[in-house]
Structure 1
Amino acid sequence: MSVPTEANAGRTDVSSRRPRTAERARTLAAHAGSATLDLPGDREEHVIPAARAVEADGSLLLLVPGETAAVVLTSRDDVAAVLHLVDVAPVAVPHRVRAHCWIAGWLSIPTGPDAERAAALLAEAAPDPTASERAGTVVRLEVGEVLVDDLWGTGHVEPDDYADAAPDPLAGHEAELLQHLAAAHGDDLYRLAIVAGAPACADRVAPVSLDRHGIRLRTGGPDRTCDVRFEFEHPVADPTELGGALRRLLHGVHGES
């Protein structure tokens, strides 16, 4: 199935099968490329964590650099803070920012064995192996409120729903997969867009997002874009199932406008 929609600001309508808002929030918490921690105080601090990891209950572990931030955090318990996450498409498309997510909660500093476990999780999650070794303060953000604003729309997530959700199983591989599709399967993507009824703005077609339910293509240029959402026959459970789902979509499925 496909759903072509206008997306002048990168926003599209929903299709019949979609990831829940809580799942999208957990995915962004773990995989969004940009994160800024907003701290309270007379001099509001906006800190970029050097490393980030997500615990099983959704709490976030952050390595916070900077002397001022460390002083704010060590002087008080349960400091209120907001983590702003920004997700950007891994391929060049118009309106490249795909999502914003704000996670509000309370900061605390792990101690004892908990601090050692937190440091180990940050070291495992850091894309830069040296990031977790940089000077800074390891903090935990306990989640109190979540707001997501993405390609699906805007929605609040209750803490319990957020804690119970899981990130999309393809999120860790999405960037590589979309870049491969853009580089090696441009003709196939173009045919899909045309079949879906988007020829008027299909001078350029690129994949903009991928999840266990399907793939979203973006056509057109800066002034006028059109998004087309294609759903897999069945949701995929992990990357090993994705190859077959994509082959059936690219070579055997005709979309509906």
Structure 2
Amino acid sequence: MGESQTWTAAPGAAERARSVLAAAWSCAVTADGGREELVGAHDTAEDGRVLLHVPQDSALLATAICAPRGEPSAVLEFADVAPVPVRNRIRARLWLAGWFSSVDGHLVFQATRVVLHQAAGAEVVDLDEFAAATPDPLATAEARLLTHLADAHPDAVERLTRLVEAESLLGAVRVQPLAVDRHGLTLRIERSRAHGDVRLPFHTPADTVAQLTERMHVLLAQAGSAACARPALQRQRTDGEG
């Protein structure tokens, strides 16, 4: 598979959690037995506190104002959804448990427990690390970057499979870009009844879209010098499309 495949640099749990927060457009809030789905209504402060902008008639705001100690407990749930259509599009879920305070008609949420659930399982994120972490610099651009790669450059995605071990492509019927961050690109390899993910790490992290473009060109150059595209994958993709 080549030396580049042995480096598995990836964002840590705290950075991943902050990236989910930065990119998520909606969240579910459970407080005082009630549950509300909010869309486009949250921001994140530098220290990880979540700022909720809710309507004046929101039950959450009433709960915060009427709570005996003024700080009702709540749970916030965020889902990280792959922007490219693939099986099992939920890449991660983030749960924040903590309490609200009302500030100038808005809700400020301070987490006392942070849990990140990914394919490998659930992980409790250290609160100090969560507060100190910053989102991946590509987090808010990822959806646009991945959909462009999948829609406009399927040939490039096909070429990148040359960097994947042959065993990982056995039975593959489709390969799609699943995720990208400053450390690398992840491909989703789908089979008839299963799927798996393969990570292609960059030779050095990318902190801007311009740097990401350069890192992708390096990967494609490596793929170009690798063995020819595997006929088995091409045949199965053709059969699947038929």
Partner of 2:89: 96
3-state SS, counterpart of residue 106 of structure 2: strand
In the aligned structure 2, how far is the partner of 1:187 from the partner of 1:93? 18
Q: Match for 1:73: what amino acid?
A: A
Once the two structures are TM-superposed, the CA of residue 219 in structure 1 deviates from its matched residue by 1.6
What runs of 5+ residues in structure 1 fail to find an aligned partner?
Answer: 4-14, 116-136
Paired position in structure 2 for 1:182: 150
Q: What secondary structure is seen at the aligned counterpart in 1 of 2:170?
A: helix
Give the CA deviation at 1:191.
Answer: 2.8
Give how far 1:154 is off: 2.4
From 206, 220, 227, the counterpart of 1:236: 206
Contact 2:61-2:102 within 8 A present in 1 as well: no
Name the residue aligned to 2:11. 19
What does residue 101 of structure 2 align with? Answer: 108
Give the SS at the match of 1:183. Answer: helix
TM-score scaled by structure 2?
A: 0.83
Determine the structure 2 residue equivalent to 1:159.
127
Q: Which has the larger radius of gyration?
A: 2
Shift of 1:16: 2.6
Question: Which runs of structure 2 are paired with 1:220-231 in the superposition (5 Å)?
Answer: 220-221=190-191, 223-231=193-201
One-letter identity of the residue aligned with 1:157: V
Aligned to 2:51: 61
The residue aligned with 1:48 is 37
Q: Is the 8 A contact 1:49 1:63 kept in 2?
A: no
Q: Is the 8 A contact 1:94 1:221 kept in 2?
A: no
Which amino acid in structure 2 is aligned with residue 205 of structure 1?
V
* 1:13-70 deviation digits (Å, cap 9, x = unpaired): xx63110100011111121233101102xxx111122411000111000123444333
1:2 alignment counterpart? 5
> Alignment partner of 1:160: what SS?
helix
CA shift for structure 1 position 73: 1.5
Contact 2:92 2:118 in 1 (8 A): yes
Q: Evaluate the alpha carbon distance shift between residue 20 and residue 67 of structure 1 in structure 2; reply closer, same or farther with a 3 A threshold.
A: closer
* Distance of aligned partners of 1:218 and 1:25 in 2 relative to their CA distance in 1, 3 Å threshold: same
Partner of 1:169: 137
Residue 73 of structure 2 is matched in structure 1 by: 80
Post-superposition Cα deviations, 1:56-104, rounded to whole Å, max 9, x if no partner, equal 1110001234443332111021111110001110011111111100011
Question: Does the 8 Å CA contact 2:75/2:97 hold for their aligned counterparts?
Answer: yes
> 2: CA distance between counterparts of 1:109 and 1:235?
39
Counterparts of 1:144 and 1:91 in 2: how far apart (Å)? 33
Alignment of 1:127-166 (within 5 A): 138-151=106-119, 153-166=121-134
